[in-house]
Amino acid sequence: MTNIWDTLNQPVTISGLELQNRFVLAPMTREQSPGGIPTKKVTEYYQRRAGSLGMIITEGTYIDHPTAGVSDRVPRLDSTGAESGWRDVIAAVHAQGAAIFPQLWHVGCVRRAGALPFPDAPVFTPSGLSLGGKVIAEEPSLEEIDRVIDAFARSAVTAKSWGFDGVEIHGAHGYLLDQFFWKVTNRRSDKYCGSLEARTQMSIDVVQEIRHRVGPDFPIQFRFSQWKAGRWDEHIAENPGELERILRPLSDAGVDIFHPSTRRFWQPAFAQSDLTLAGWTKRITEKPTILVGHVGVNTAFRSDTPSDSVPADALERLFEQQEFDLLAIGRALLADPQWVEKMIGGREDVITPYTKDSENIYY
């Protein structure tokens, strides 16, 4: 496996952005920012990992809308005091040679009434439904949806002004934009529901508004998934044709890089083809694509059961088949900030392995 690590450890230009290698820190919620403001500890966390990476995608960061979040310890992109903390993070990451993108996040129906940081804000979800299809809120009006789209765009503009290198839009895992994709949570009777294209329209509008405000040279990433948390077998696309009906409009709207989130990166996305979800995404959009899921760990995300063994040649084979451009690593880097350096140096025997206890470590 040494050869593939050396190959990925070469400089590359992605969407006009020069990266020192193809390794990416996957976004992982840490809840270490009291009041939504990144602390010195947050700066040190990212700085410690940045030197061996080409890009850092931050933990999910709430957009500038009161309905976006569920915790007052998740960082925000708004005018409530987070700027200084984020500027420290950005400077520290850049000093290590890595690029950094914030992940723009709205949790949608995952939020409960009364949740912090804005307990008086309502729950905002496409049709007022939970992930289980139960009524938990009022269906938002088109005007209310426009205000959320505006919040995504304003937060992207804020990110650019503070010095971030691009933004990632969180459209995965059962959160707000994914709730618009999914029939269970989107039962509207307007332009945002009906066909696959209509259920994609909310994400298209977000991408287009961000692109309009940040200009042509600020990279936009889009993260999506088939699964939702706790609903691992759900799909927004049942076949490659349906996936194309979702991704091509997003690509045309202004997405530069796609980040398809999977729990096992090597598994085929659909029957009758060996292509992974990243492979299909790259084939459909011809845009740079990030591969993620299970790199460096022995269990799938949110599982205690050892997973199927990763094929020994999986990464090398998928890279040679041009199924991905960047490789995102999450839990392995959480447990061992030097994981990439040790893999490149052939020092796998001294890697600190990921365990569930690693989730509680913040260093």
Q: Which residues are known to be catalytic?
A: 175
Separation of alpha carbons 112 and 121, rounded Å: 10
322: region left, alpha or beta (phi > 0 left; psi from -120 to 50 alpha): left
What Rg, from alpha-carbon coordinates, does the chain have? 19
Residue with tokens 């889009």: 222
Instruction: Kindly report the number of other CB atoms within 10 A of residue 279's CB atom.
Output: 21
| 336 class by beta-carbon count within 10 Å (0-12 exposed, 13-18 middle, 19+ buried) | buried
Closest CA to 5 of 286, 332, 260, 361: 332
